[in-house]
Amino acid sequence: MVNRIVVGAHYGWRDWLVQRVTAAVMALYSVILALVLLPGGPLTYEAWKALFARGWMRVATLLFAASLAWHAWIGVRDILMDYVKPTGVRLALQVLVILLLAGCLGWTAQILWGTP
Protein backbone atom coordinates (compact mmCIF):
# COMPACT_ATOMS: atom_id res chain seq x y z
CA MET A 1 0.00 0.00 0.00
CA VAL A 2 1.25 3.43 -0.91
CA ASN A 3 1.40 5.58 2.17
CA ARG A 4 0.27 8.91 0.73
CA ILE A 5 -2.55 11.01 2.09
CA VAL A 6 -4.25 13.11 -0.55
CA VAL A 7 -5.52 15.78 1.81
CA GLY A 8 -2.92 17.63 3.87
CA ALA A 9 0.16 16.34 2.10
CA HIS A 10 0.90 19.66 0.34
CA TYR A 11 2.39 18.09 -2.79
CA GLY A 12 3.17 20.93 -5.17
CA TRP A 13 3.13 23.57 -2.45
CA ARG A 14 6.92 23.99 -2.65
CA ASP A 15 6.86 24.52 -6.44
CA TRP A 16 4.04 27.01 -6.04
CA LEU A 17 6.09 29.01 -3.53
CA VAL A 18 9.32 28.73 -5.55
CA GLN A 19 7.51 30.07 -8.62
CA ARG A 20 6.54 33.21 -6.68
CA VAL A 21 9.84 33.79 -4.87
CA THR A 22 11.89 33.43 -8.07
CA ALA A 23 9.43 35.75 -9.83
CA ALA A 24 10.00 38.40 -7.15
CA VAL A 25 13.80 38.06 -7.48
CA MET A 26 13.60 38.49 -11.27
CA ALA A 27 11.19 41.43 -10.99
CA LEU A 28 13.54 43.21 -8.56
CA TYR A 29 16.56 42.60 -10.81
CA SER A 30 14.61 43.83 -13.86
CA VAL A 31 13.64 47.08 -12.15
CA ILE A 32 17.23 47.70 -10.98
CA LEU A 33 18.65 46.99 -14.45
CA ALA A 34 16.04 49.25 -16.08
CA LEU A 35 16.86 52.06 -13.65
CA VAL A 36 20.58 51.66 -14.38
CA LEU A 37 20.20 51.53 -18.18
CA LEU A 38 17.22 53.78 -18.98
CA PRO A 39 18.72 57.18 -18.00
CA GLY A 40 21.98 57.95 -19.85
CA GLY A 41 22.55 58.03 -23.60
CA PRO A 42 23.30 55.23 -26.08
CA LEU A 43 25.18 52.35 -24.50
CA THR A 44 28.90 52.05 -25.24
CA TYR A 45 30.98 48.89 -24.99
CA GLU A 46 33.05 50.36 -22.16
CA ALA A 47 29.97 51.20 -20.05
CA TRP A 48 28.38 47.78 -20.77
CA LYS A 49 31.60 45.96 -19.90
CA ALA A 50 32.15 48.06 -16.76
CA LEU A 51 28.60 47.31 -15.57
CA PHE A 52 29.17 43.56 -15.72
CA ALA A 53 32.67 43.87 -14.25
CA ARG A 54 31.21 44.90 -10.88
CA GLY A 55 31.11 42.12 -8.33
CA TRP A 56 27.58 42.83 -7.09
CA MET A 57 26.28 42.96 -10.68
CA ARG A 58 27.79 39.56 -11.48
CA VAL A 59 26.34 37.97 -8.35
CA ALA A 60 22.94 39.63 -8.93
CA THR A 61 22.90 38.45 -12.56
CA LEU A 62 23.78 34.91 -11.53
CA LEU A 63 20.96 34.97 -8.94
CA PHE A 64 18.64 36.22 -11.69
CA ALA A 65 19.76 33.41 -14.01
CA ALA A 66 19.31 30.77 -11.29
CA SER A 67 15.83 32.13 -10.50
CA LEU A 68 14.99 32.12 -14.20
CA ALA A 69 16.12 28.52 -14.64
CA TRP A 70 14.08 27.28 -11.67
CA HIS A 71 11.04 29.41 -12.62
CA ALA A 72 11.20 28.27 -16.25
CA TRP A 73 11.51 24.63 -15.21
CA ILE A 74 8.26 24.78 -13.20
CA GLY A 75 6.46 26.71 -15.95
CA VAL A 76 7.57 24.51 -18.83
CA ARG A 77 6.89 21.37 -16.77
CA ASP A 78 3.32 22.60 -16.21
CA ILE A 79 2.90 23.19 -19.96
CA LEU A 80 4.25 19.72 -20.75
CA MET A 81 1.95 18.13 -18.15
CA ASP A 82 -1.02 19.89 -19.77
CA TYR A 83 -0.36 19.06 -23.41
CA VAL A 84 1.95 16.03 -23.68
CA LYS A 85 0.06 12.95 -22.56
CA PRO A 86 2.35 9.96 -23.43
CA THR A 87 4.50 9.43 -20.35
CA GLY A 88 7.65 8.45 -22.25
CA VAL A 89 7.60 11.49 -24.54
CA ARG A 90 6.85 13.79 -21.61
CA LEU A 91 9.71 12.36 -19.54
CA ALA A 92 12.11 12.75 -22.46
CA LEU A 93 11.06 16.37 -23.03
CA GLN A 94 11.31 17.15 -19.32
CA VAL A 95 14.84 15.76 -19.16
CA LEU A 96 15.78 17.86 -22.22
CA VAL A 97 14.34 20.98 -20.59
CA ILE A 98 16.33 20.36 -17.39
CA LEU A 99 19.55 19.80 -19.33
CA LEU A 100 18.97 22.92 -21.43
CA LEU A 101 18.27 25.10 -18.40
CA ALA A 102 21.24 23.72 -16.46
CA GLY A 103 23.42 24.32 -19.52
CA CYS A 104 22.18 27.90 -19.83
CA LEU A 105 22.93 28.52 -16.16
CA GLY A 106 26.48 27.22 -16.60
CA TRP A 107 26.89 29.34 -19.73
CA THR A 108 25.73 32.44 -17.84
CA ALA A 109 28.34 31.83 -15.13
CA GLN A 110 30.97 31.45 -17.85
CA ILE A 111 29.89 34.70 -19.54
CA LEU A 112 30.02 36.55 -16.22
CA TRP A 113 33.32 35.25 -14.88
CA GLY A 114 35.08 33.83 -17.92
CA THR A 115 37.94 35.89 -19.30
CA PRO A 116 37.42 36.89 -22.93
Number of chain residues interacting with other proteins (CB under 8 A): 23
Residue 13 interacts with other proteins (CB under 8 A): yes or no: no
**Of these, 59, 79, 81, 99, which contacts other proteins (CB under 8 A)?**
79
Nearer to other proteins, 12 or 116 (CB): 116
User: Helix or strand or coil: residue 32?
Assistant: helix
Determine the Cα–Cα distance for residues 65 and 38; give it in Å rounded to an integer.
21
H helices, E strands: number in the chain: 4, 0
Query: In 9-59, which ranges are E strands?
Result: none
CB of 18 to other proteins, least distance (A): 14
Residue 38 interacts with other proteins (CB under 8 A): yes or no: yes
Q: What does the DSSP 8-state code read for residue 85?
A: -
Residue 57 interacts with other proteins (CB under 8 A): yes or no: no
Long-range contacts of 12-15 (CB under 8 A, 24+ apart): 15/74
- Binding interface with other proteins (CB under 8 A): 20, 23, 27, 30, 34, 37-38, 45, 48-49, 52, 68, 72, 75-76, 79, 100-101, 104, 107-108, 111, 116
